[in-house]
Amino acid sequence: MLGVILAAGKGERFKPITYRVPKVLIEVREGLTLLDLAIRTLRTAGLEELVVVAGYRSREVEKALSGLEGVEVVRNPEYWRENGISLLRAREAVGSEDFIMVMADHVFEPGLVELAMRSGPLGLCVDREGRYLLDPGEATKVAIGPGGLIRALGKGLEAWDAYDTGVFACNELMFWAAEELALRSFRVSVSDCVNFLVSRGVEFKALDATGMAWADVDTPEVLKFVREELLELILPKLRA
């Protein structure tokens, strides 16, 4: 099984920092970037072979990862078309293998990855409480139906049951969804891909990760929270 890290975004809400450095290379602690943390977390969970999809300032991401064994960097020159296109760019590197997909700007403990690996595709780790969310209104929501299967995913859901943690157990059906949607729409998100599969009767499991530590580092305020509080919960669980 492979690990796929989507690390292509521009990080608009981190300007002017991101004029100088891609968001995923922002440090959460001296010498430890968001991307470093994602890699360490995946490897702690047992995923040694990783694919990183870079986009904005991709040369800097490649340079930061140069010489790191077991990591392949794939470029997405159309990173502004949202993360579903970044997912699609990983297709050639991943092939037909099952994979765990995470976002480089999410911070999470290895337990979420282990849950996704045990449960197998297709699934998304969800959090019913959101105890570590600073702004729950901004989080992507998950509507869950009978049998713990996802009915819908999105920020604008009126009825929902849990929060999307950004840790997915995937197979090649995700690439099919991204490819089909890319033919119809300029912008394609990972949420769009999940909704596409669900709408066609594909079972997508909600994997209950309630209580585990995670955060979507989408604002400087969340980054500050991660640095001051959340890292103390996550770092002791990571291997050196």
The predicted-structure confidence for 6-55, as pLDDT tens digits, reads as follows 999 999 999 999 999 999 999 999 999 999 999 999 999 999 999 999 99
Rounded mean pLDDT, 88-111: 98
This prediction has a pTM of 0.97
Question: In the predicted model, what is the mean pLDDT of residues 145-172?
Answer: 97
- Give the distance from CA 198 to its chain's centroid: 19
Give the separation between CA 235 and CA 37, rounded to whole angstroms: 9
> Mind listing the pLDDT tens digit for each residue in 186-234?
999 999 999 999 999 999 999 999 999 999 999 999 999 999 999 999 9
Annotate 166-202 with DSSP letters as a single string.
EEEEE-THHHHHHHHHHTT-S---HHHHHHHHHHTT-
Crossing angle for the helix pair 110-119 and 34-44, nearest 10 degrees?
Answer: 50
Domains of the chain: residue spans and CATH = 2-234 (3.90.550.10)
Contact 50, 113 (CB under 8 A): no
pLDDT in tens, 34-47: 999 999 999 999 99
Q: Rounded CA gap, 126 and 230, in Å?
A: 18
Q: Which pLDDT tens digit goes with each residue over 122-143?
A: 999 999 999 999 999 999 999 9
